[in-house]
Amino acid sequence: MTILRASKVETPTFHTKAWLVWVVSSVAVVNTIENPFVLPLVFGSLSAVAGSFARPGPESRSFATLVKIGITFTVIRVVLFVATGHTGVTTLFTSPELHLPRWLGDLRLGGRVTAEVAIQSCLEGLRLAAFLACLGAFLSVTDIYRVLRLLPRFLAEAGLVVTIALAFVPTMFRAAAEVRDAQRLRGHRVRGLRSIVPVAIPVLASGLERSVTLAESMEVRGYGRRLEGSARVEAWARVAALAGAIVIAVGSSFLLFSRAPLWMGASICASGVGALGLAFAALSRVVPRTRMRRERWSGWDWMLAGCAGMTAIGAFAMRGLNPAAATYYPYPAAFWPPFHAGVVMIGVAISAPAFLGAARKGMLARADERHPSMAPKAPDSVGVAR
């Protein structure tokens, strides 16, 4: 009985901005801590988070998909690097060598295969895979449309276009599944490449139909509409934005490449940023758009953002204060990476949302048991606009 009850309460998710903080800090950890000991922890933590907040839709599959893509990249990378790079002193084995001519890149294929090249290429590949896994976990647990709603108002139309483009893939998946089921009901055996035609053609047809419907509905809802008399404001704002961007480019090149004093480049950059900000504010004012169904930022979101921020600060501090423990580079001679408890703490801290979510779910379940009717609505923390 209690099991049935508990399973009724879904794990409540967090505010999209809290998730954004979390994914940025996770990527920061992957980027700053190069100690290989962090990698299994990062993958494990991301799996725990993606699993804890998984929903039945196809979006939740993105974590597994991106991890698989990352592992594939890693394997390809190791093979290519081992075949072409022969630096390092620890020879694993020697294979026949093929020296390509100069016009083919002057590469030496095969030959001495060293442990250093294998280790380094594998670690770099896995670091890339971990980065993809962070992205996959973020896509699995958040609603991408809510993420796009965080854009400033004048970018709302661009955001809408991106939303539609993003919706394309899951919609295709769903349409393909529907068509496959329908064909199966008709007695068609769906298997492998041979059934591509009976599945793909209906999917394409429905996709075209859907896009026409979408365009009509956007037209009806006034896509691209502006306030009366806003054309001049908009034109000036665009000119100001362009000027601001150019000024920023000039200022940063002053900062980077010239011997001019620092304050000069900095002030040029600042004026460019100011112009850009004014232009964006003006552009936002002419877009008549309000937000509906805002998300509520609760104490749990504060806790998640705090955990994520502390994780990132910890990672940066470790990189700065103890670079020997935070980095690992096998060249010129491979060695065992140093083990450091801080690495373990940082790696496990990425799984904070999973533990916070479990705690919150437990509280909700207990409240539900005490007062079944009074239990707060858990799964969707969306409130009405204030």
Partner 1 sequence: MKRRTRAAILVAGATALLALGPLPTSEASPCASVLAAASTNHAGLVVQFADGSMRQFCIPFTESSVTGLDLLVRSGLPLRYQDYGGGSVAVCMIGGVGCDYPSKPCFCQCSNPNKSCRFWGYYVWNRSTGAWSYSSNGAGTREVHNGDMDGWRWGEHRSPNPPPASTFAAVCSGSSTITPPPSSKAKPPKTSGAPTSTATPPNTSETRSPTTVASDGARIASSTPAGATVSLPTDRAISAPPDRGGHLPITGIAVVVGFGVGLGLWGARRFREARRVPP
CA distance 383 to 9: 18
Residue 334 vs residues 108, 119, 368: alpha-carbon distances, Å: 22, 8, 56
Q: What is the number of other CB atoms lying within 10 angstroms of the CB of residue 125?
A: 20
Q: Is 100 in the site for partner 1 (CB under 8 A)?
A: no
Q: Which of residues 324 and 385 has its CB atom nearest to partner 1 in the complex?
A: 324
Q: Is 329 in the site for partner 1 (CB under 8 A)?
A: yes
Residue 317 phi/psi, 5-degree rounding, is: -65, -40
Q: Which of 13, 45, 51 is nearest to 130 (CA)?
A: 45
Q: Which of residues 97 and 209 has its CB atom nearest to partner 1 in the complex?
A: 97
Question: Which of 58-66, 183-191, 217-225, 308-316 is the region at the interface with partner 1 (rule: CB under 8 A)?
Answer: 58-66
To partner 1, the closest distance from the beta carbon of 99 in angstroms equals 10
Based on the number of CB atoms within 10 Å of its own CB, is 297 exposed (0-12), middle (13-18) or buried (19 or more)? Answer: middle
Q: Which of 2, 4, 56, 103 binds partner 1 (CB under 8 A)?
A: 56
- Direct distance between the N- and C-terminal alpha carbons of the chain, in angstroms, rounded to an integer: 39
To partner 1, the closest distance from the beta carbon of 137 in angstroms equals 9
To partner 1, the closest distance from the beta carbon of 339 in angstroms equals 3
Q: Please tell me the count of residues contacting partner 1 according to CB under 8 A.
A: 76
List the interface residues with partner 1, window 199-258 (CB under 8 A). Answer: 256-257
Per 3-state DSSP, the chain is made up of helix, strand and coil in percentages (nearest 5) of 70, 5, 25
Query: What mask of x and - would describe binding to partner 1 in positions 352 to 371, judged by CB under 8 A?
Result: --x-----------------
To partner 1, the closest distance from the beta carbon of 37 in angstroms equals 5
CA distance 350 to 48: 10
Q: Is 328 in the site for partner 1 (CB under 8 A)?
A: yes
Q: Which of 17, 108, 146, 285 binds partner 1 (CB under 8 A)?
A: 108
CA distance 348 to 48: 10
Strand segments (E) across the chain: 91-99, 108-114
Q: Is 136 in the site for partner 1 (CB under 8 A)?
A: no
Q: Is 259 in the site for partner 1 (CB under 8 A)?
A: yes
Q: Is 351 in the site for partner 1 (CB under 8 A)?
A: yes
Q: Is 123 in the site for partner 1 (CB under 8 A)?
A: yes
Based on the number of CB atoms within 10 Å of its own CB, is 156 exposed (0-12), middle (13-18) or buried (19 or more)? Answer: middle
To partner 1, the closest distance from the beta carbon of 1 in angstroms equals 18
Q: Is 180 in the site for partner 1 (CB under 8 A)?
A: no
Q: Is 274 in the site for partner 1 (CB under 8 A)?
A: no
Q: Which of residues 133 and 282 has its CB atom nearest to partner 1 in the complex?
A: 133
CA distance 226 to 235: 13
Are the C-beta atoms of 328 and 337 separated by less than 8 Å? yes
Residues 6 or more apart whose Cβ sits within 8 Å of residue 369: 2, 5
Q: Is 47 in the site for partner 1 (CB under 8 A)?
A: yes
- Find the largest Cα–Cα distance for the chain: 78
Q: Which of 20, 24, 27, 54 binds partner 1 (CB under 8 A)?
A: 54
Q: Which of residues 218 and 255 has its CB atom nearest to partner 1 in the complex?
A: 255
Q: Which of 9, 23, 50, 240 binds partner 1 (CB under 8 A)?
A: 50
Q: Which of 27, 243, 317, 344 binds partner 1 (CB under 8 A)?
A: 344
Q: Is 266 in the site for partner 1 (CB under 8 A)?
A: no
Q: Is 171 in the site for partner 1 (CB under 8 A)?
A: no
